[in-house]
Structure 1
Amino acid sequence: MSEPQYIVNEAEQGTRIDKLLTNVTSDYSRSQIRTWFDKNLVTVNGKTVKPNYKCQTADKVEWMVPEVEPLDVVAKNIPIDIVYEDKDILVVNKASGMVVHPSAGHQEDTLVNALLYHCDDLSGINGVKRPGIVHRIDKDTSGLLVVAKNDLAHEGLAEQLKKKSMKRDYKAIVHGDIPHDYGTIDAPIGRSEKNRQLMDVTEKGKSAVTHFEVIERLHEKFSVVKCVLETGRTHQIRVHMKYIGFPIVGDPKYGQRKSIDVDGQALHAYHLQFEHPITKELLEFEAPLPTKFTKVLENIRKSY
């Protein structure tokens, strides 16, 4: 590790230490620098500090830059549907059945494996297992997600997610005839106390808000809905639709025991809109419903 240092000048009095380091070390993003504090790699006058420390004139700031962790995810030539790409970002229409990034039980054949084969550079903010990944969609959910090629683009996209300005719309087939044309589900989501592998609506959970609109009603037994995410909790739409009594068709975790065989849940991220993190251009994309989804709709219309 390298051990650079910096003496705070009078004009920098009162500046947060993380902001100061961002200005002084232009090669590193603010998100990267925050990780240095987590590892106690930043000191002021020989003592470790938190990122919100206010600098004083003549403070001696020292920091150690950790060595880049070697990438241990293998690039694989896996076909992916790239709907947009430039030097900073790309937008992928992910197929149902593909895991977004390596995790326990899914070390290969993920979207990240495919991206590493396609791209020379991906942002490193989320570590070696999730390069470029700004947001995720579940394995058996299909549809659009944006990937960052560098840390600056990643930070810009993450900020839009934080401010809820990135628009992410889904279509789903659910069990039941929803009586309202529109609705908002505002219910916190966290780990289920009964089964830690599942998420659930719980008072101890994090804020989660999903807006929905009924697009079509099918024989009083099914509804096609549009869901708009205001927040992005794990399994959010699946958990919320179950919570209000209209679980997603084919959902193996949160659906009905007797459901239509969809090989996963009938959920598709069809619309994505955001501001390009570098050029500031407003970008908008739509992905048509996959064959799996349309076949389920056809079967319902014919069978009921």
Structure 2
Amino acid sequence: MDKIFITGIAGFIGFHLAKKLHKLGFYVSGCDNFNPYYDPALKHQRAAYLHKLNILVLNCDLNDKEIIDLHLKTSNISHFVHLAAQAGIRHSITHPESYMHSNLSGFFQVLEVIRKNPNLKLIYASSSSVYGKRAETPFCETAPTDQPSSFYGATKKCNEVMAESYHKLYGLHCTALRFFTVYGPWGRPDMAYFSFTKAILENQPIPVFGEGKLMRDFTYIDDIIDGIIASLQKSNGCNDIFNLGHHKPYSISELISYLEALLEKKAIMEFLPTPPGDVPITYANVSKSKSVLNFDPKVDLKEGLSYFIKWYQKQYS
């Protein structure tokens, strides 16, 4: 039986991946540093849920590699899924140092761990942010990614370049997954769909950038998890990159309209200029992912938001 180690296991995607893998019968463990970018209480709730499933959650930073090394040596891990990172495009403008620590130094430590354990297969989270504003839509994996629009995107592009060099130098098994605007229950409170829901219910204004015309390829968490698991099963000696997106972008205005309909309440909107680092659109070409991973996203935005709101109302009732 494959044994999977997940960094960022108490994060949004890591939590859902751990649950699904456990359900499928895999041995799952992971680590998280519970950083305060958003309320750590939600991360601790996720971790508590995983503890009930007897899933080990190590409380450590990626740069505490001795702890991770020891666990890997004693647990016979076969796959290393790296999801831990400092997230947030706008946050990277004001706090770039945290991205250097987590996304660059942290990823270097991950590569070093894999180098010392050459039988491990590495699957790691990249981002649609690597495409910036230059790529033609829909974004294809072969599109230019040398001009990301944010420092967050730059760190994710750097991860891909670092992985490529380690693959060529040391023969590492690496697979990069470019996620497109993942949403759903247990999600990140800083994401628009989450913060908008909270604001609408509390009669607070929501910031609407770019007149609500910005478009995002919202991808439901269950579809993302299916893509990750498929990449675990398909991972081989190559260094490969896959888009994981719904391949149907929606405008922020459409997102707000769906939330208003589902919550049966109108939003108070505050229109603001588009912040630095934001791009007009993200839009995934998933032809390669469909062909190689049999990736087939099924949940459209309105359906996915309905699942999120049911969870939200139960969680914060």
Task: Indicate the structure whose relative CO is greater, using CA pairs within 8 Å and at least 6 residues apart.
Answer: 2
Normalized per residue, the structure richer in helix is: 2
Larger radius of gyration: 1
Normalized per residue, the structure richer in strand is: 1
Q: Same fold (TM over 0.5)?
A: no
